[in-house]
Structure 1
Amino acid sequence: MPRMSIQRIASSSSLPSACRGGVVAIGNFDGVHRGHQTVLERALAEADRRGVPALVLTFEPHPRTVFQPDVPLFRITTAPVRARLLQALGFEAVVEQQFDRDFAGQSAEDFVRRVLVENLGISHVVTGFDFHFGKNRQGGPAYLMEAGERLGFGVTLVDAFRDEGAEIVSSSRIRRVLAGGEVAEAAGLLGYRFTVEAEIVHGKKLGRELGFPTANMKLPAAAALRHGIYAVRLRRGDGTLHDGVASFGRRPTVDDDGDPLLETFVFDFSEDLYGETCSVSFFGFLRGEEKFEGLDPLVAQMKRDEAESRAILAGAQPLSPLDARMTFDQA
């Protein structure tokens, strides 16, 4: 992974002068999936051709949570994970523009003039063919291209990306796949292994008593990943990688009423991780969550899960250069 961290900028008005005049990819990019990567790679290529910075303009929180606050949204990538992915692709900065009703209410012309021209000073913009912006989505591809001609910046529109089965790769499709626990299929659509990131918190320490101490993470409440057991790889804050097996769910054998928790048993590891922010990447779904008749059969199954996870991870190969940087390359 690149040694220099990507710049995360909270507003277009705070862009450092060294980043002005760049090529900007615009979108929500939830998942940074293979469809998004076609847009992002075009931006990187254009920035390289021009010899200018490569930037991403995205929005926080996700606009859907502003317009539909009562509808939970399963975000495939939180802002920190998305930034890591953009860094691994080669971007210098990501503008995580605060998105609220006021921002959404500005006209398409104001968005172009204030955000793109005045604040970012763009030389070129790359976005998806269906990108809309401004109050009531009044700005679209034709408007953006006309504004570029009028205000002096180039525009590249990228068509929807289709997978090997000729289906469009979209964030909503990936969310459905993850809700079914199909993390291997999700990886094929993402181009890398699905990854979550959170602080390691204290649990009830039952795993330690059973011989399987776990690193516990609370995922966002809207995380709709299927409850079950997964082969995973954990990355510590120092960049080191460790294989493991993880349970995501409510622990029906011992704690059926608890909040969903991701509990990772890290193989051949005895250090204290409490308080560290770590990431966990999912390589395979082993089985659904089960309720056992006592702790002995639970422990026996956990040993089988460990053996299966070790086998899956031992044979794993990078799906792409991005996957190699995210889940195979040590810092």
Structure 2
Amino acid sequence: MAIGNFDGVHRGHQAVLDAARSEAVRRDAPLVCLTFEPHPRTLFRPDQPVPRLTPAPMKARLLSALGFDAVVEHRFDRETASLSADAFVAKVLVDELGARHVVVGFDFQFGAYRTGTPAFLVAEGAARGFGVTVVEGFADEGGAIVSSSRIRSDLGRGDVAVAAGLLGYRWTVEAPVVHGQKLGRTLGYPTANMAFASDDLLAHGIYAVKFRRADGTLHGGVASYGRRPTFDNGAALFETYLFDFSGDLYGETAEVSLFAYLRGEEKFDGIAPLVAQMDRDAAEARAFLAHATPLSPLDAAIAF
């Protein structure tokens, strides 16, 4: 059993998850991930929630692609937060889940007032009959520890390629397709519109993307994320023009993987210069996607 929040399921998390998979194979045991919903900061600081890299459904999808047999989403509420570290071990890990071996990261803390540490967990495991592996921090090629906060900062600057290097896959969002103002149709670029839960995670701009429909079919595309300053400067929407596609997508829950940041959002002096730039954006996105290759087996499963 791997335990953690795993927001982003990035390469640092994957080191923990890989260690759990190795133990499951060695012990011929089911491979399970224990995670917590909502994010603890949502409980303690509801006015400042964490912009989620991977909301629960996307996290489960990624964990499934990594070979996990089950994901246990333990509700993080006041009752859970008040459990002492030893009560959490006894009640959740032993009584409820019957853990045979637990794998955590070096900075994992749990229990009331975060008094449970990896060292405490090792001692509890020895006393209660389950094994514990503590995985050290995972550093990138430059020697810096990979973290969810770093990736959020990269996405906030539009650095989706850098974020992908830390994630080990192209960052992917999942949301239902909603009705917009249908401005794209009048410009020759009909779009699938999606509203994100958080508007402060991703930089506004134009992106080369891949769009996966609910039935699994995949389309390349070019997406605009922002407030449409040429028109209304309204609420932020993620609007994807799918290449070589016609049809109705309303109501579908789709996934969009971001491959490249092409440019920032701009206000144009009229429709003609806007459409001319959209033509260039679409051509650039097609060219980029034509040469894109998977970063990892996980990337291949999610974005290809």
- TM-score bucket of the superposed structures, by smaller chain: over 0.9
Whether the 8 Å contact between 1:144 and 1:155 is mirrored in structure 2 is yes
Amino acid corresponding to residue 298 of structure 1 in structure 2: L
**Matched residue of 1:47: which SS?**
helix
Alpha-carbon distance change, 129 to 170 in structure 1, aligned in 2, over 3 angstroms:
same
Which of 71, 78, 82 is the equivalent residue of 1:101?
A: 78
1:187 aligns to what?
A: 164
The structure 1 segments of at least 4 consecutive aligned residues displaced by more than 6 Å after TM superposition are none
| Percent identity over paired residues | 65
Q: Partners of 2:270 and 2:173 in 1: how far apart?
A: 31
1:152 aligns to what?
A: 129
- 1:109 is displaced (CA, Å) by 1.0
2:265 corresponds to 1:296: no
**Matched residue of 2:49: which SS?**
coil
**Matched residue of 2:298: which SS?**
helix
2:107 aligns to what?
A: 130
- Give the TM-score of the pair, scaled to structure 1: 0.91
Which of 206, 216, 222 is the equivalent residue of 2:193?
A: 216
Q: Partners of 1:132 and 1:186 in 2: how far apart?
A: 25
- 1:73 is displaced (CA, Å) by 1.7
2:243 corresponds to 1:267: yes
Whether the 8 Å contact between 1:73 and 1:222 is mirrored in structure 2 is no
Amino acid corresponding to residue 51 of structure 1 in structure 2: D
- 1:72 is displaced (CA, Å) by 3.5
2:11 corresponds to 1:34: yes
- 1:141 is displaced (CA, Å) by 1.2
- Show structure 1 runs of 5+ residues with no match: 1-23
Amino acid corresponding to residue 189 of structure 2 in structure 1: F
**Matched residue of 2:120: which SS?**
helix
**Matched residue of 1:316: which SS?**
coil
**Matched residue of 2:19: which SS?**
helix
1:234-262, Cα deviation, whole Å (9 max, x unpaired): 00111111000000010100111x11100
Which of 111, 117, 124 is the equivalent residue of 1:140?
A: 117
**Matched residue of 2:164: which SS?**
helix
1:287 aligns to what?
A: 263
Whether the 8 Å contact between 1:229 and 1:286 is mirrored in structure 2 is yes
Amino acid corresponding to residue 246 of structure 2 in structure 1: S
Aligned length: 304
- 1:271 is displaced (CA, Å) by 1.3
Whether the 8 Å contact between 2:206 and 2:223 is mirrored in structure 1 is yes
Amino acid corresponding to residue 110 of structure 1 in structure 2: A
Whether the 8 Å contact between 2:10 and 2:148 is mirrored in structure 1 is yes
2:167 corresponds to 1:207: no
Whether the 8 Å contact between 1:163 and 1:189 is mirrored in structure 2 is yes
Whether the 8 Å contact between 1:75 and 1:223 is mirrored in structure 2 is no
1:326 aligns to what?
A: 302
1:210-234, Cα deviation, whole Å (9 max, x unpaired): 1000000000135420000000000
Whether the 8 Å contact between 1:198 and 1:277 is mirrored in structure 2 is yes
Q: CA RMSD in A?
A: 0.7
Whether the 8 Å contact between 2:41 and 2:49 is mirrored in structure 1 is no
